[in-house]
Amino acid sequence: MTLPNPYLPEIATVIETVQETPNIKTFRVRLNNEERMKNFTYQPGQVGQLSVFGVGESTFVINSPPTRMDYLQFSVMRAGEVTAKLHTINAGDQIGVRAPLGNWFPYESMKGKNIVFVGGGIGMAPLRTLMLFMLDNRKDYGDISLLYGARSPQDMAFQYELPEWTTRADMKTVLTIDREAPGWEHTVGLIPNVLTEMAPSPKNCVAITCGPPIMIKFTLQALKKLGFEDDQIITTLEKRMKCGVGICGRCNIGTKYVCVDGPVFTYAQLKELPNEL
């Protein structure tokens, strides 16, 4: 789907909000133009710009899968003026949406392969859209594994979905926190260390990882030590975008524009870029 005017937000109504963690809030929205909402299409991993009128706009992944189109879901970590204002938005309020933007996860080329998802904190948002898409098309993919971690149980997003993810027979889920916490019954340890203990086989496998930069750095190292090739590893770049259509140059890294060429990149592609991340 292409935007009628790439610079003009469409008006959307927030139909529901979820306070995921103390600093992450999820918004479920519907475009006010019912015809546009009915015909809205996107791919797993694409992003949208959410705008608070009179304040500004910021970029967030559409973390509901395109197989479930009751609404568009965005999860926002409070980290600046726009995100702080978004956190005051409630059901019934209106915001601006420019979407879809950017590229997407190459799910077609992953068919028949085993998939390993490695997410940290808010990094579960982009993984969620692809993971649910694959679960909704389960026969197309091999084994699916998820390693999701956060500093503490309170910092884990999508807690209402974790019981299903940990008990599904058609996927393996490992939850971990950085250090012991009262009542925690799952794994304790840093994500790269737990990943090393899980030791997923790189044979016929793709690893997709999203999370804080420091987590990504050591997760990439762990995957390489496990034998994953650079083109078997996929991640997303979280770099500030302005126009979202590759014009302003705000998000360029070398010759690449995150808003157009990304946000999804293989590790092989990342290694070809200047060290500006």
CB of 101 closer than 8 Å to CB of 58: no
Strand bridging mode 114-120 / 56-61: unpaired
**In this structure, is the dihedral angle defined by the CA atoms of residues 44, 154, 215 and 99, taken in order, positive or negative?**
positive
Is the Cβ–Cβ distance between 59 and 122 less than 8 Å?
Answer: no
For residue 124, count CB atoms less than 10 angstroms from its CB and return exposed for 0-12, middle for 13-18, buried for 19 or more: buried
Evaluate the CA torsion angle 153, 157, 161, 164 in order and state its sign. Answer: negative
Per-residue b/e over 140-154, b at no fewer than 16 CB within 10 Å? ebeebbbbbbbeebe
Q: Is 243 annotated as a binding residue?
A: yes
Tokens found for residue 264:
């999804």
Whether residue 210 is annotated as binding a ligand: the answer is no
User: Is 205 flagged in the annotation as binding?
Assistant: no
Tokens in use for 239? Answer: 């770099």
Beta bridge partners of 18: 26
> What is the DSSP code (8-state) at residue 273?
S
CB-CB contact of 32 with 38 (8 Å)? no
251 is in an annotated binding site: yes
DSSP run (H or E) holding 92 = none
Binding residues for [2Fe-2S] cluster: 243, 248, 251, 259
Binding residues: 243, 248, 251, 259
